[in-house]
A and B are shown apart, each in its own frame.
Chain A
Amino acid sequence: MTPPQRQRRSTGAASDGVPAKEGELRNPERLFVIGGEGGGERADLDLVTLIVARADPPVSATPEQAALLRLCAAPLSTAELSAYLSLPFSVVTVLLTDLLAKELVQARAPIVRQKVADRNLLEAVMHGLQKL
């Protein structure tokens, strides 16, 4: 028995040969609105941006904000905040955008893939995995 054969996508199939980016719509009849309507301004936060509270919840904080601030007394990723709060990722980023503007939280940006990867970083990760 032989496995089924993959056919490579013909490059350039996506109109002008420029690969479609995440978020680009292939089907123009479909319009996706993330997180429902009226999401407002959103800070550029990654799923693994680490969030740390800089202050206790002020009395003016909404219940969501107060809960979020309590959760990130120690650093916590936006993905974990979304999970613990049972709120969609986009809703968490809207909440955080506000808290960042008020300087109630600090955001620690993730290390993202570079064209030429940082070998020290990769070696650190390998070393960490070895301990598992």
Chain B
Amino acid sequence: MDFKSSDTIPGPRTEDRLPHTAEAAVKIVIVGGFGVGKTTMVGSVSEIRPLTTEETMTQAGIGVDDNYGSASKTATTVAMDFGRISITDELVLYLFGTPGQERFWFLWNGLFEGALGAVVLVDTRRLEVSFDVMGRLEERGVPFVVAVNSFPDAPRYPVAELRTALDLPEEIPILDCDVRRRASSRDVLMTLMRFLHSLAVKGALT
């Protein structure tokens, strides 16, 4: 692998370094279709400029006509943007924006299993893009809230109508947001945290 000399690698800026007391991190996943505003949302709340991690995989197509020696191989790269919010000197929160196609989720060891919860970001011009993702999260028991990123020319539906269309129970928060605004993006994250908190309280009672 062609590798840049270590002196030329720009690491985090001095102000982007975590304190030595940083002990543990938690993560939240923002999931949604292409162009729905995931990276914009990460950038709105992150204390660092959003970064990109990637993973490559080799897809070996073993068809009926192939024998193992001649299996064709295609390399695919999947990228994911992320940002960071320091919660305390000990605790750090990471936000990952990941595309909806779940066939790539396995690439990131425990991305959803380990996350505190998820934000499903939807665009009402193509609501159906999010259907599969919600099913997946339900199957895996990942708690989530739905945030509607309001694009100017997108149809506006009352929350009750959206809830019926998405077939979501009353307790799952659905809210409008403008991911370009920090306060709005923070409200989405706060709504998720309050929802998780309510689940924790309920879980402790049962």
Chain A residues with CB under 8 Å of chain B are 1-9, 11, 19-24, 26, 29-37, 44-50, 52, 63-64, 66-67, 70-71, 74-77, 79-80, 82-91, 108-113, 115-119, 121-130, 132
CB distance from B96 to the nearest CB of A (A): 7
CB distance from B106 to the nearest CB of A (A): 4
Are A50 and B25 neighbours in the complex by a CB distance under 8 Å? yes
- Count of chain B residues with Cβ under 8 Å from any Cβ of A? 91
Q: Is B182 an interface residue (CB 8 A)?
A: yes
Are A129 and B200 neighbours in the complex by a CB distance under 8 Å? no
29 A-B residue pairings within 8 Å (CB atoms): A11-B139, A22-B113, A30-B60, A30-B61, A36-B75, A37-B58, A46-B109, A47-B94, A48-B25, A50-B18, A63-B6, A64-B6, A70-B9, A74-B18, A75-B20, A77-B25, A85-B9, A108-B25, A110-B26, A111-B25, A111-B91, A113-B115, A117-B200, A122-B197, A125-B93, A126-B197, A128-B91, A129-B190, A130-B190
Residues of A near B140 (CB, < 8 A) are 19, 21-22
Are B166 and A6 neighbours in the complex by a CB distance under 8 Å? yes
